[in-house]
Amino acid sequence: MLFLAYLAVLLSIASGGLALFVNQRVFVSSLWQQLPVSLRQQPFYCMTDDAHWRVVIQRSVFVLLGIASVAAIIAGLGGLLSKQILTDQIQLGLPWLPWHVRFDSLSALFFLIVGIGTGAVSLYGTGYVKHYQEQDHPFAVLGLFTGLFVAGMLLVLLADDAFFFMIAWEVMSVASYFLVAFQHENPANRRAAFLYLLMAEVGALAIILSFGVLASFSTGISFEAFRAAHLSDTWASIAFCLALLGFGMKAGLVPIHVWLPEAHPVAPSHISALMSGVMLKIALYGFIRFCFDLLDKVQWQWGLVLLLLGTVSALGGIFYALLQSNLKRLLAYSSVENIGIIFMVLGLAMIFMANGHPELAALGFIAALLHAFNHALFKNLLFLGAGIIQQQTHELNMEMLGGLIKKMPRTSVTFLIGCMSISALPLFNGFVSEWLVFQTALQVDVLESGVLRSLIPITAAALALTAALAAACFVKVYGITFLGVPRSHHSEKAVETTDKGMLTATALLAGLCFLFGIFPSLIIRLLNQVSSQILGQALKNDTALGWLWLAPVDAGQASYSAPLVLVSALIAAGVCYYFLRRTPDTLIRKSATWDCGFGGLTPRMQYSANAFTMPLRRIFAPVWQLDEQVKKDLSGALNQQVDAVHYQLHIQDHSWQWLYQPLENGVNSIAKQVSRIQTGNIRTYLSYSFVTLIVMLWMVS
């Protein structure tokens, strides 16, 4: 297994390295010339054309990435099935600090997630990068950092000491920074990338500090030593808070989520898919590893913090997603929502764990992992779908789209499946994990504390609201983007993409969404493995987890059988169809849309994305910082005639005003204070050096 895991890492680095050769045809062929003639009888040599060479290199970069992802998937599945914990040491880095490697079922699960995500991207990428101009957007940069990014994510999962972990973490963060900044000709993109880098580094600092706290109580910086450490409650809580800050920043918890809706939309779509679908899960992995594995015991107060933060993130994320009209930005906010749900149920798991109900903790833990897995599938799918839309219409603003269901029939089906999964509709995978979250929340009766007992149902209510709003949000996404009549020239001229890889990637993910929606027990069995290794407790009711039934606690409490539901749905629909099958009298007649007898329906008369959410915007107005302006162009006698109406809606995150503005002002004012000592006078500076020297000497002596 470990060999496959290394292979995946090496192959992804290799694919990055190979990308560097995209413009080096002459160099490579000159190398080729020096080889003995007998070895030169390869088709390789006949590629004298630059464009052809580039296509071949691009394709082989993604093929390498694809092989890496297959290796990662097999390693992940193998790790989950074999139930073994593999450890190793690599003699790299500093001579007295070998890198510790550990591959247990938690790593294996996330290997699987990374593998599936990367696999889809490698199928999709070739088609997607074709439209980049080599001069403006060099493929070498994109390919190199994609490879490094994937390798970094895989290494984070393998790391078993703080040093190695941080190196891998930084490789992942910095590589993804370059990917976000890839289309740097736009100032907004550069700003987004900088914000991302800043927050990633602040987060990394917090993580280093949290490791530092652990290290001071243990004998070394390997995770093995951390596990053995015993912290006092206060220090454990400090470490927890720092880890929450660090990993939460990467995962995108409200209010430290602000980089996410800025950075994800500006990266190339397959990178957004990797970042949103996979990288956020790596942050989640780090958090789970830290709290459930490294810290020796969890406290219920932490669970409460997670529960509240998760609820706020879930609600905040979906509220902001609801009003976005940029498709990728909307998807990014929806990631905040899903991460919120995951943290919420992790919090529940912690509360149950600390109160001595390990079985319910296992249920919550599995629900969190399952939702992470499902989110990786459907968010990848939706971002890749958005990428196809962007490529075919050159537009991400929903207000300019519409009617794509007829122009792009295949994409429309896979995107619909993505929307249904993320809206948590039965038969699809998103529903199963939300169902498990509800089941966990409803076990609250076993808790002693009255506060928790009344708080958890309220968060369950918030979750119900989140789920309903998510469905509303994705009805908007699908309805405005794919249905109706085209709202612009671009969407009218759109055609289905001809690239098979792109369609296969989305179809594959859609298929997985459906498969795990119908047979969730397949994956839940594997997750049970993770739970028994990390929490030391699995769901006891193994027989109730048959392939047909899902009954996490007890068959008498709750059960769900998706296959039977599917069968009965098919029967019901079949019976309807059979009785209503077309007789010659009732063949469908095509006619114009009813226009109330006035005539002249135009696409502008349809509901727009903003109009669609207007009732919700009005009902929940205090949630957003809204700036709504209506301007009328008046003319004619006494300015009575309205020529045109301009409507502008600007939505601002509350956290900017309440958290980041004061922070920025604070930093600025401190900087001003500091600038007082910078007089610009050489004598002052010399005296500073002198005083410093004296102080140092005094300290040394």
Partner 1 sequence: MNWLIAILQTALLVGLSPLLAGWLKRCKCFLQNRQPPSVFQPYRDLLKLTRKQPVLSHDASWLFHFAPYMVLSATVLAASVVPFIAVDLPTSATADVIVLVGFFAFARFFLTLAGLDVGTAFGGMGASREVTISSLAEPAMLMAVFTLTMTASTTNLAFAIDHVLQAGLVLRPSFLFALFALLLVAVAETGRVPVDNPATHLELTMIHEAMILEYSGRHLALIEWASQLKLMLYGVLIANLFFPWGIAQSLSLNALGFGLFAILLKLAVLTLILAFAETAVAKMRLFRVQEYLGFAYLLALLGMLSHIVLEVLL
Considering only residues 618 to 637 of the shown chain, the ones binding partner 1 according to CB under 8 A are: 618-619
Among positions 122, 440, 531, 613, the unique one binding partner 1 when judged by CB under 8 A: 613
The one segment of 87-95, 104-112, 188-196, 432-440 that binds partner 1 by CB under 8 A = 432-440
Among 246, 277, 347, 403, binds partner 1 (CB under 8 A): 403
Q: Is residue 444 close enough to count as binding partner 1 by CB under 8 A?
A: yes
Closest approach of partner 1 to the CB of residue 480, in Å = 7
Shortest reach from residue 456's CB to partner 1, in Å? 9
How far apart are alpha carbons 247 and 238 in whole angstroms?
14
Q: Mind spelling out the 3-state secondary structure of 418-467?
A: HHHHHCCCCCCHHHHHHHHHHHHHHHHHHCCCHHHHHHHHHHHHHHHHHH
Alpha carbon distances (Å) from 333 to 258, 272, 315, 328, 544: 9, 12, 10, 9, 36
Q: Does 683 interact with partner 1 (rule: CB under 8 A)?
A: no
Of 26 and 446, CB closest to partner 1: 446
Q: How far is the CB of 320 from partner 1 (least distance, A)?
A: 15
Whichever of 569 and 696 has its CB closer to partner 1, that residue is 569
User: Does residue 577 belong to the site contacting partner 1 (CB under 8 A)?
Assistant: yes
Q: CA–CA separation, 631 vs 287, rounded Å? A: 49
Alpha carbons 205 and 600: distance in angstroms, whole number: 61
State the minimum distance, in angstroms, from the CB of residue 357 to partner 1.
Answer: 14
The binder of partner 1 chosen from 472, 545, 651, 659 (CB under 8 A): 472
Give me the DSSP letters along 149-213: HHHHHHHHHHB-BHHHHHHHHHHHHHHHHHHHTTSTTSHHHHHHHHHHHHHHHHHHHHHHHHHHH
| Using rule CB under 8 A, residue 435 touches partner 1 | yes
Cα separation of 652 and 253, whole Å? 17
Rg (CA), the chain: 28
Q: Nearest approach, Cβ of 347 to partner 1 (angstroms)? A: 18
With CB under 8 A as the contact rule, the residue among 616, 623, 626, 659 that binds partner 1 is: 616
Query: Would you count residue 576 as binding partner 1 (CB under 8 A)?
Result: yes
Residue 370 within binding range of partner 1, rule CB under 8 A: no
| 405 counts as binding partner 1 under rule CB under 8 A | yes
Q: What is the per-residue DSSP string for 617-639?
A: HHHTGGGSEEEEEEEEEEESGGG
Rounded Cα distance, 441 and 594, in Å: 48
Among 480, 494, 524, 530, binds partner 1 (CB under 8 A): 480
Q: Is the Cβ of residue 557 or residue 639 nearer to partner 1 in the bound state? A: 557
- Residues 88-127 as x/- pattern, contact with partner 1 by CB under 8 A: ----------------------------------------
Which residues partner with 646 through β-bridges? 631
Cβ-based neighbours of 52, under 8 Å, separated by 6 or more: none
- Least Å distance, CB 25 to partner 1, is 46
Interaction of residue 464 with partner 1, rule CB under 8 A: yes
Please pick, from the candidates 611, 667, 686, 691, the single residue that binds partner 1 as defined by CB under 8 A. 611
List residues bridging with 397 in a β-sheet: 326
Stretch that binds partner 1, among 116-124, 333-341, 477-485, 501-509 (CB under 8 A): 477-485
The site map against partner 1 for 491-530 (x = CB under 8 A) is: ----------------------------------------
Interface region with partner 1, contact rule CB under 8 A, candidates 139-147, 274-282, 433-441, 622-630: 433-441
Structure-token match 């005083």, residue found: 691
State how far the Cα of 605 lies from the Cα of 602, in Å rounded to an integer: 6
Q: In this complex, which beta carbon is closest to partner 1, that of residue 167 or of residue 323?
A: 323
Q: Is residue 169 part of the contact set for partner 1 (CB under 8 A)?
A: no
Q: Is 422 in the site for partner 1 (CB under 8 A)?
A: no
Residues with Cβ < 8 Å from 680, sequence gap 6 or more? none
Single out the residue of 198, 458, 663, 667 in contact with partner 1 (rule: CB under 8 A).
458
Question: Would you tell me how many other CB atoms lie within 10 Å of the CB of residue 339?
Answer: 30
Site for partner 1 in 544-573 (CB under 8 A): 549, 555-561, 564-565, 568-569, 572-573
Complex with partner 1: residue 333 or 478, whichever CB lies closer: 478
> Given the complex with partner 1, which of 63 and 465 has the nearer CB atom?
465
User: Using CB under 8 A, which of the segments 112-120, 468-476, 510-518, 685-693 binds partner 1?
Assistant: 468-476
Residue 99's H or E segment, with its range, is strand 99-103
Applying CB under 8 A, the span of 292-300, 350-358, 366-374, 427-435 interacting with partner 1 comes to: 427-435
Q: Of 217, 438, 519, 660, which lies in the binding site for partner 1, with binding defined by CB under 8 A?
A: 438
Token pair of 51, please?
């464009």
Among 154, 353, 424, 527, binds partner 1 (CB under 8 A): 424
Q: Examine residue 662 and say whether the peptide bond preceding it is cis (omega within 30 degrees of 0).
A: no
CA-closest candidate to residue 294, choices 212, 369, 371, 234:
212
The answer to the question of residue 204 lying near partner 1 (CB under 8 A) is: no
Nearer to partner 1 (CB atom), residue 93 or residue 457? 457
In the set 26, 461, 634, 694, which binds partner 1 (CB under 8 A)? 461
DSSP per residue, 6-25? HHHHHHHHHHHHHHGGGG-H
Among residues 273, 303, 284, the alpha carbon closest in space to that of 370 is found at 284
Task: Write out the binding residues for partner 1, residues 275-334 only, by CB under 8 A.
Answer: none
Q: Which of 90, 70, 66, 73 is nearest to 18 (CA)?
A: 66
Q: What are phi and psi of 689, to 5 degrees?
A: -65, -40
CA 20 from centroid of its chain's CA atoms:
27
User: What is the size of the binding site for partner 1 (CB under 8 A)?
Assistant: 83
Q: Is residue 385 within 8 Å of 128, Cβ to Cβ?
A: no
Dihedral angle computed from the Cα positions of residues 274, 280, 282 and 283, in that order, rounded to the nearest 10 degrees: 150
